């Protein structure tokens, strides 16, 4: 028990309180119970006074909204509602966010400040190029450093996320094959450990997808790859470092075999955070690779956006990059938006405008604040942290690939839970009670009961120790037969364990008021 200067306890004796204890209001300590905003009332009032319109709406031809179905909350009510909701969600500002394959790193506030500068935040995509020279100059410098870091001669900035970048890269590959009279190449090879978007994107473009086997140590099976390469293969899609948290040590041979078969090498760059400043994908024979700016070069991640997924391209694919292109001319920067001149072979456009300007600013600010040595240290520290987690937990959990170091994430299977009655999902739910967001579960699919942990480079040793001690304690509890502790978890979250299958199959996407109950009319006897 820790004490303050006047002798009062500063921490409760038990996180859960006395047995059977529950508050009368549904709140937990300082956390308020909060209903949906539609359930707060206020339907007969408004939090804002607006003057009556001076003109009628007779010229709107029946398009007038008669009733806006929103509660009329005052400013304090609205602010408190959203603050209370924010306290119910985990965030990188609260604790380690160990989701593997997602790179949930701290986002420097300097980047946010830069992105909110009026000269960037107030831009409109339809402004004349003469009025946005600073923004175009930033895009040009960002493109320069992306090409420098990857060793690639061209980059398309407009893709807005990783999967969007995959689409861009495969469309460039498709256009290049068709221009060379190789349009019959309709197959894409994808390893079993690939991100799920890889085969999905290939199928979306119209390719047939063939799976490549994995070796026992978690890498691409070269023999299987060579057997499946042929005149009908358009490309291979490989994640490197891969989703098992391992570097593809045969990547040069993968590139050689792919090119010898007349196909292109697409690299999923989602894990570039592990090698930035250390390895240039262009030197490995990569033809196209998307870069998640919102992972490698910071930015808020998840929740549906915002994101950016620029695609770097080899010399063979560069002519097919989508519009727009930023060009430097004698009278300033211009946007080439039509398939003319150098862009005559561009496959088209991916989005209406130029990409995610806010993400460009954040990524460029991140690059400038770190410098070349800092970016190199990002990769080194990310790999160091992941290997530290692996070393701290390997004696109580079971590494999926125990031999040798991992890269940026440590992957465990569920062999250590055998005989305990506890599953990977149960461990994840118990972690919520301990104040941690769970790691990525059951992915990659090639590992049974997978638990994929990516601490990133932004976590200190003290925070990593706190996380590892928590998992070590949970492992001990599981082995001691405390299965109920796991099966009932989470006990301390705002909501208990949900029926996730039902929620996925029958989601409630809209709020409906409960039907009013009408008391039955009294009978004659009453």
DSSP secondary structure code for residue 284 in this structure: G
Q: Which residue has the higher pLDDT, 451 or 337?
A: 451
pLDDT classification of 11: cutoffs 50, 70, 90: very low
Torsion, CA 291, CA 296, CA 301, CA 304, rounded to 10: 0
CA 302 to chain centre: 5
218-228 pLDDT tens trace: 999 999 999 99
Inter-residue long-range contacts of 332-340, CB under 8 Å, 24+ positions, other chains counted: 332/129, 332/130, 332/133, 332/136, 333/129, 333/133, 333/136, 333/137, 333/140, 334/129, 334/136, 335/129, 335/136
Closest CA to 143 of 335, 347, 10, 342: 335
CA-to-CA dists, residue 231 to 65, 101, 176, 177, 262, angstroms: 60, 33, 15, 12, 7
Phi, psi of 376 (to 5 degrees): -65, -40
Strand order in the sheet with 288-290: 154-156, 311-313, 288-290, 264-268, 233-239, 187-191, 208-212
Average pLDDT, stretch 296-303? 73
| pLDDT surpasses 60 at 169 | yes
Specify the pLDDT at position 407: 97
Q: Which residues contact 409 (CB under 8 A, 6 or more apart)?
A: 100, 101, 245, 271, 386, 452, 453, 454
CA 2 to chain centre: 39
d(CA 271, CA 347) in angstroms, rounded, equals: 27
Residue whose entry in the numeric block shows the structure tokens 């561009």: 346
Three-class DSSP category at 264: strand
85-141 pLDDT tens trace: 988 888 888 899 999 988 889 889 999 999 999 989 999 989 999 999 999 999 999
Structure token pair of residue 449: 């009961």
189-207 pLDDT tens trace: 999 988 889 999 999 999 9
Structure token pair of residue 9: 């306890």
Specify the pLDDT at position 44: 77
Assigned CATH for 110-367: 3.40.640.10
10 Å CB burial of residue 78 (0-12, 13-18, 19+) is: middle
Question: If you average pLDDT over every residue of the chain, what do you get?
Answer: 89
Specify the pLDDT at position 52: 83
Average pLDDT, stretch 364-381? 96
d(CA 276, CA 445) in angstroms, rounded, equals: 26
Q: Which residues contact 213 (CB under 8 A, 6 or more apart)?
A: 191, 192, 221, 224
Q: Which fold has domain 373-495?
A: 3.90.1150
| pLDDT surpasses 60 at 488 | yes
Do 373-495 and 110-367 have the same topology in CATH? no
Q: Where are the domains of the chain?
A: 110-367, 373-495
Contact between 23 and 75 under an 8 Å Cβ cutoff? The reply is no
């Amino acid at each position: 028990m820790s004490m303050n200067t006047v002798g009062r306890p500063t921490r409760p004796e038990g996180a859960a309180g006395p047995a059977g204890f529950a508050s009368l209001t549904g709140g937990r300590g300082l956390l308020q119970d909060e209903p949906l905003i539609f359930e707060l009332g206020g339907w007969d009032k408004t939090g804002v006074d607006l003057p009556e319109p001076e003109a009628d709406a007779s010229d709107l031809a029946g398009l007038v909204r008669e009733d806006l179905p929103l509660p009329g909350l005052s400013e304090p009510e609205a602010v408190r509602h959203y603050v209370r909701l924010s306290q119910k969600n985990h965030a990188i500002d609260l604790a380690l966010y160990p989701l593997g394959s997602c790179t949930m790193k701290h986002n420097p506030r300097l980047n946010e400040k830069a992105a909110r500068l009026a000269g960037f935040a107030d831009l409109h995509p339809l402004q004349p190029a003469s009025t946005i020279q600073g923004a175009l100059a930033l895009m040009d410098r960002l493109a320069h450093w992306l090409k420098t870091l990857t060793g690639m001669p061209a980059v398309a900035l407009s893709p807005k996320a990783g999967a969007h970048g995959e689409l861009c890269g495969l469309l460039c590959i498709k256009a290049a094959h068709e221009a060379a009279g190789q349009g019959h190449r309709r197959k894409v090879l994808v390893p079993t450990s690939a991100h799920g978007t890889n085969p999905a994107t290939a199928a979306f473009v119209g390719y047939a997808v063939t799976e490549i086997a994995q070796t026992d140590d978690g890498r691409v099976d070269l023999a299987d790859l060579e057997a499946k390469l042929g005149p009908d293969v358009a490309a291979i899609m490989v994640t490197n470092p891969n989703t098992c948290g391992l570097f593809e040590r045969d990547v040069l041979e993968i590139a050689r075999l792919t090119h010898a078969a007349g196909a292109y090498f697409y690299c999923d760059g989602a894990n570039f955070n592990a090698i930035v400043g250390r390895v240039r994908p262009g030197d490995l024979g990569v033809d196209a690779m998307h870069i998640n700016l919102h992972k490698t070069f910071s930015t808020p991640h998840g929740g549906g956006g915002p994101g950016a997924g620029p695609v770097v391209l080899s010399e063979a694919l560069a002519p097919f990059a989508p519009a727009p292109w930023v060009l430097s001319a004698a009278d300033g920067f211009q946007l080439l938006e039509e398939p003319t001149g150098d862009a005559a072979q561009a496959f088209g456009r991916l989005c209406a405008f130029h990409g995610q300007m806010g993400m460009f600013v954040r990524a460029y600010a991140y690059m400038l604040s770190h410098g070349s040595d800092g970016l190199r240290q990002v990769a080194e520290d990310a790999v160091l942290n992941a290997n530290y987690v692996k070393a701290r937990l390997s004696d109580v959990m079971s590494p999926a690939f125990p031999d040798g170091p991992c890269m940026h994430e440590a992957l465990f299977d569920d062999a250590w839970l055998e005989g305990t009655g506890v599953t990977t999902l149960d461990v994840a739910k118990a972690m919520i009670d301990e104040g941690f967001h769970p790691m990525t579960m059951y992915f990659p699919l090639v590992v049974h009961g997978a638990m994929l942990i990516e601490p990133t480079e932004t976590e200190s040793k003290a925070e990593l120790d706190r996380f590892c001690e928590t998992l070590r304690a949970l492992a001990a509890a599981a082995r001691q037969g405390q299965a109920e502790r796991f099966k009932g978890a989470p006990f301390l979250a705002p909501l208990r364990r949900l029926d996730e299958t039902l929620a996925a199959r029958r989601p409630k996407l809209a709020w409906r008021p409960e039907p009013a109950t009408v008391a039955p009319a009294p009978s004659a006897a009453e």
